[in-house]
Amino acid sequence: MKLICIGRNYTEHIKELDNEKPSDPVVFLKPDTSILLKKQPFFIPDFSDDVHYEVEVLVKINKVGKHIAKKFAHKYYDQIGLGIDFTARDLQAQLKAKGLPWEKAKAFDGAAVIGDWLPKSAFENVDAIDFSLHKNETVVQSGNTSLMLWKIDELIEYVSKYFTLKIGDIIFTGTPSGVGKVIANDKLKGYIEDKQLFSITVK
Ligand code: ZN
């Protein structure tokens, strides 16, 4: 399975990192080895002094598809989740400056947190889902999927032009503003509406 991640999908986050608004979605992949195993702490890797959390709504693919039209995209997923796209921001900045791929900064072991899943049927509208990240009991990020530049069905249409989507693949749909650094002993909890979908400790 693969993790397909979208960058720069919320205007306020584009501004906070001083990035340009893209004309197409920014897409990158994480390997399955980047998934943080359930109940394990997240260990800050020794190659970074500036690892950031990025909370993101997740979509799990349940049907094989290629060149999926937006109007059919809703048939290709039936679960919605929440996760973290951990990013070694210092390393990413160096790679971006050189025009190099980001993988070392985003695809390292443990860099993908995947929380519990909720059935899509639990939501009246997947384009109006509230979500948030709490760090040590303070809300540090909150967003709503209505603020995405490219909505879930548009992302499925777009990424399936390039990659065959397979059962179990997961799309990370991008982070809203409020990203920030983690330090040892931080506790991160992710919520969709009032449901807690993950809780992890940083080491
Ligand atoms: Zn991200």
Domain boundaries, the chain: 3-201
Ligand 1 midpoint to CA 75 (Å): 24
pLDDT in tens, 80-106: 999 999 999 999 999 999 999 999 999
Ligand 1 midpoint to CA 104 (Å): 14
pLDDT in tens, 145-193: 999 999 999 999 999 999 999 999 999 999 999 999 999 999 999 999 9
Task: Indicate whether 21 pLDDT > 80.
Answer: no
Ligand 1 midpoint to CA 121 (Å): 25
Residue 157, pLDDT score: 98
Dist. CA 69–CA 158, nearest whole Å: 9
Give buried/exposed letters for 77-114 (b at 16+ CB in 10 A, else e): bebbbbbbbbbbbbbbeebeeeeeebbbbbbbebbbbb
Q: What are the backbone dihedrals phi and psi of residue 112, each rounded to the nearest 5 degrees, phi first? A: -120, 110
Q: What is the mean pLDDT of residues 114-140?
A: 97
Ligand 1 midpoint to CA 157 (Å): 19
| CATH assignment, 3-201 | 3.90.850.10
Ligand 1 midpoint to CA 52 (Å): 10
Ligand 1 midpoint to CA 175 (Å): 5
Ligand 1 midpoint to CA 27 (Å): 10
Tokens of 23: 């004309």
Ligand 1 midpoint to CA 56 (Å): 7
Ligand 1 midpoint to CA 124 (Å): 25
Ligand 1 midpoint to CA 80 (Å): 16
User: pTM here?
Assistant: 0.96
